[in-house]
Every structure is written in C-alpha cells, then in structure tokens.
Amino acid sequence: MPEQLPNFIAGQWQHSTAADTLAVDDPATAETLAEVPLSSTTEVDTAVQRATEALVDWRRTPVTERVQPLYRLKQLLAEEHEELARILTTECGKTLAESRGEIQRGIENVEVACGMPSLIQGYNNEDIARGIDEMMIRQPVGVVAAITPFNFPGMIPLWFLPYAIACGNTFILKPSEKVPLTMQRLFELIAKTGLPPGVAQLVHGAKATVEAILDHPGIRAVSFVGSSTVAAAVYRRAAANGKRVQCQGGAKNPIVVLPDADLEQAIPMIAESAFGCAGQRCLAASLAITVGDNREAFTEAIVDAASSRRVGHGLDDGTEMGPVITGESKARIEGLIDQGLRDGGRLLVDGRDARIASYEQGNFLRPTVLDNLAADSTVATTEVFGPVLSVSHAATIDEAIAIVNRRAFGNMACLFTGSGAAARQFRYEVEAGNIGINIGVAAPMAFFPFSGWKQSFFGDLHGQGRDAVQFYTEEKVVVERWG
C-alpha cells in the first residue's frame, strides 16, 4: 500500500484523520507514489492554533535570529538538491535538469529572505515639528497561509515561506494535492533547522482544506498561486473574510518576433519557452506572433525545433520533455488542439496521442505547432498549459502589440528583435507584468516581484522580493515627543 502522507503540525509529523485521500501518481508511469489526505477543517484549526501560540515568541525573536534557520535550510537544500530534484521529477514529470533548476530558484528565495535584517527596515524623520520625531516600523501580520499549484512544487512554496517567517509571521502551507512529495521532503529538512514548533506547518488537502483556510478567522493573510478561475474565487472569499490576499493566476503568454530578430538565437529560446516543462509553466510562450516577412523562416525553424524535441521519462538521460500532469490534462490539451483545427488552424507538428516505449501508461504528448489561427480564436486566447504553440501573423509591431494587449491575461510578453527602439516601444506599451526582450522565459529573480497583471493576478503586492516583505508586514507609524 502506498504511504499516506502525514501533516507537519507543531513540529511533529501527524497522521491525518481525514476520511478521504487521493492518489499521487507518477505522470510518466501511472504508478501510485503515495496517498494524500484531504485534511479537515478541524485539522486546519489545530494548525492555526499551534501557529497562533508559536507567534507569541516568534515575533519577539530578533530578526537576526529568525533568519538563522533559513541559513541552515539553504545549506540543507544545497546538500539535498539532487534528491529533491529526483522527487520533483517523479511526482511532476518534468526533466531532471528542469527540476534541478527549479530547486535552485527556490534556494535563491531562501537566500534573499536571509537578508531580512535589512529588508524589513522602516524609515524615520527627526523633527517633523520641533522636538517631534516620526518613524515607520514594520511588524509581522500574524498567522499566514499559502496555497500552491502543481507545476512548480519545489519553487513556488518558497516564494512565500522564507519571507513570511523571516518577517516574524507563522506560516501554514497547503501544497498541491497532485504533487505533495517535494514539500514533504522539504519539511523533513525544515524539521532539522531548529525552527521552533508551529512556525512553519504543512497541511495537505484540496478544495475543502483551502476553504477552511480562507474562512478561518485566525489566518490574517493568504497567498495563492494557481489557475485564474480559482485565483479569483480565492481572492474574493479571503478578502470578504477580511484577509490580506495575493493571488497569482493563469496565463497566455505571447512572443512577438520581428523581422530583424536573430532567429538562430531566438528559436531555441522560444522552443524552450513553449515546450519546456511540457508547456506547464505560467511563463510558457503559447502564442508566437511573427511580424512582416519572417513568417516562413520562423515557422520552418520552430517546426524543426518542435519535431526534434526528445520526449520521455524525466529521469532518463537525454529526455528534453516529460509528460503532462494527468490523463485529464492530456485529454483537455488534445481537445484544444482539435478545437484549433475546427477553427481553421493548420497542424504543422501534431503531438497528440504520443506513445513512449516502456511508458505506455504515461500522460505523454509531443510538442505541437498550430499555424494559421486567428489571434482571437479559442486556442490563441485560452491557457492550454501543455506543449502547444500557436502561430499568428501581424503586418506591423503596432498590430502585434494590439494583439498582445487584447489578451485577458498579463503574465508575460516577450519580443525578439535587434532594434532598441522596437524594444522600448514594446516595454512601454505592452500590458503584462513580466517582459522579456530577447528572452523566452522572463522569470523574475527572487529579489524582483513576480509581477503578473490583468487576469494573471488578483491583489496589489506580488510574490518575492520587496513586495513579499510589504505583504508580510504591517506598517506602523509612530510620532514621538520626549521632554
């Protein structure tokens, strides 16, 4: 029998009393790796109570001491990097190289949060009137929670956990029920860092567990990353319950290729953006817009790149693309490709119904390229979240920018060009939070905000960097007169 995963509450591994569990399956083999409990409202309540108790001392712990467990965590993550990457690939499907990169991105967030003694500083003015001083100090918000998606099980929880606890909050994580094993291992490492019990807790579950978090009066702030429909619902419910909330949602990322782009350099980057992580990145390019007369050269080169990508089990040497997360995802993506054909698209590379020797049970697709789709058709506007690139064409950069800005999402937009003036126009006019110029995956480093716009983000302060410090602290202004 696969193991039922325990929760990590008050510094102890605790068997969940949940009535229901879900299977966690390897997406490449369909082997069941573990059972994840759908923790109850009572279990969420217990975690909140322990977090509330731990908060009393943790918020009084000097920030220089609060970051010490994070230095130890960084060291443990570096030592366990390879093992974590293997767990991640096994539950999520991405290649080992992609998993290694993901863990590295997670570590970088821990490193940035170790700078909290400087990051959390406020500011002050002496003599705002004679003999009166004024200061702004940052204090922790309280008990906070994060709810994370399946596609970056090692990195996305670390957009939140290190900043939250370094700011003096206590923290509860509800990871994706599809990929809970990487965080299971990470919390085993957290247990070795000397972090006091109750400061960081792990509660498994799905929708009902999330709702228990959103409704709990003891939780002051909620961070969410996932699809836009759920992000919007989580935002509304948490806000209606008086919580501070930040919700990062889905995406449909366009890449514009101008006639003066260096295609030799651009194509590998665009192919990596569209097909890397099997297209299951919120920063995946899924709509390429060629401008002017480079249409033929671009489509020819992207077809080559798509058809030569090696698909297989992420742990096998030479694999360049793994499976998608579930059979339902595969069916949904194939359905969208069919829709593209009905809408007049021309299939240049058909990745449907891929069969990979030795992994017949896996959820495999191959890279797919759909040409000739109207820029406002279903596939060109819907988040596919699979290895499908649709290609549209525009006569001018102005027309391409207008197409980009008609997207409901605003997570990322990229431009490939040799022109500084075109790059500036794009950066200036495009309505998206993360912009790439001659970059295929414009993923912000940990010391910058992960800045989605429009339907890709609900809230005001984003994850990572200085935004995270603001999100996880209350500002208190003090006006003082002495003698």
Q: Which residues bind ligand NAD (CB under 6 A)?
A: 147-152, 156, 174, 176-177, 206-207, 210, 225-227, 230, 234, 248-251, 282, 383, 385, 411, 450, 452, 456
Does the annotation mark 277 as catalytic?
Answer: no
Residues 81 and 76: their CA atoms lie apart, in Å, by 8
CB of 451 to ligand NAD, least distance (A): 9
The CA distances from residue 246 to 73, 200, 458, in Å, are 25, 19, 6
Decide if 366 contacts 372 (C-beta within 8 A).
no
Q: What does the radius of gyration of the chain's CA atoms come to, in whole angstroms?
A: 23
Looking at beta carbons only, is 298 or 458 nearer to ligand NAD? Answer: 458
Find the Cα–Cα–Cα–Cα dihedral 255, 257, 262, 265, rounded to 10°. Answer: 20
Looking at beta carbons only, is 13 or 453 nearer to ligand NAD? Answer: 453
Hey, which residues does 347 pair with through a beta bridge? 370
Decide if 22 contacts 209 (C-beta within 8 A).
no
Paired tokens of 62: 């000097």
Residues 300 and 247: their CA atoms lie apart, in Å, by 38
Phi, psi of 427, rounded to the nearest 5 degrees: -60, -35
CB of 383 to ligand NAD, least distance (A): 6
CB of 60 to ligand NAD, least distance (A): 32
Mention every residue, 6+ apart, whose C-beta is less than 8 A from residue 207.
none
Half-sphere exposure of 32 (CA within 13 A, CB side): 11
Phi, psi of 470, rounded to the nearest 5 degrees: -65, -40
Q: Which residue is nearest to ligand NAD (CB)?
A: 226
Paired tokens of 108: 């970088």
CB of 11 to ligand NAD, least distance (A): 23
The SS3 assignment for 55 reads helix
Looking at beta carbons only, is 198 or 452 nearer to ligand NAD? Answer: 452
- 259-275 burial, b at 16+ Cβ within 10 Å, e below that, comes to bebebeebbebbbbbbb
Looking at beta carbons only, is 350 or 431 nearer to ligand NAD? Answer: 431
Looking at beta carbons only, is 273 or 299 nearer to ligand NAD? Answer: 273
CB of 227 to ligand NAD, least distance (A): 4
The CA distances from residue 14 to 4, 48, 73, 210, 261, in Å, are 11, 15, 22, 19, 56
CB of 5 to ligand NAD, least distance (A): 14
Looking at beta carbons only, is 40 or 411 nearer to ligand NAD? Answer: 411
Decide if 35 contacts 2 (C-beta within 8 A).
yes
CB of 448 to ligand NAD, least distance (A): 13
Find the Cα–Cα–Cα–Cα dihedral 260, 263, 264, 270, rounded to 10°. Answer: 140
CB of 204 to ligand NAD, least distance (A): 10
One of 247, 277, 282, 414 is an active-site residue; which one? Answer: 282
Residues 310 and 322: their CA atoms lie apart, in Å, by 9
Looking at beta carbons only, is 89 or 148 nearer to ligand NAD? Answer: 148
Paired tokens of 375: 């820029």
Looking at beta carbons only, is 267 or 324 nearer to ligand NAD? Answer: 324
The SS3 assignment for 173 reads strand
Report, as residue numbers or ranges, the catalytic residues: 282
